[in-house]
Amino acid sequence: MARKLRVEYAGAIYHVMNRGDRRERIFMDDADRQRFVETLG
């Protein structure tokens, strides 16, 4: 069964979370992390 759709509205603040498999690193360095943050923007 699929999860219900999230309620979205203008000005809302959302929590975004990333996790690697088996506690693996998600970002190789700070520049990599910054590119991810910019992509979210």
Task: State pLDDT tens for residues 1-41.
Answer: 788 888 888 998 888 777 888 888 889 999 999 998 899 88
Q: Whole domain around residue 20: which residue ranges?
A: 1-41
Q: For residue 37, give Cα distances in angstroms to 11, 22, 24, 30, 31.
A: 18, 23, 19, 11, 10
Total count of domains within the chain:
1
**pLDDT score of 18:** 78
The residues, ordered by sequence, that sit 6+ positions from 33 with a Cβ below 8 Å of its Cβ are 26, 27
**pLDDT score of 35:** 93
**pLDDT score of 28:** 92
CA distance 20 to 9: 29
pTM: 0.52
**pLDDT score of 30:** 95
**pLDDT score of 5:** 87
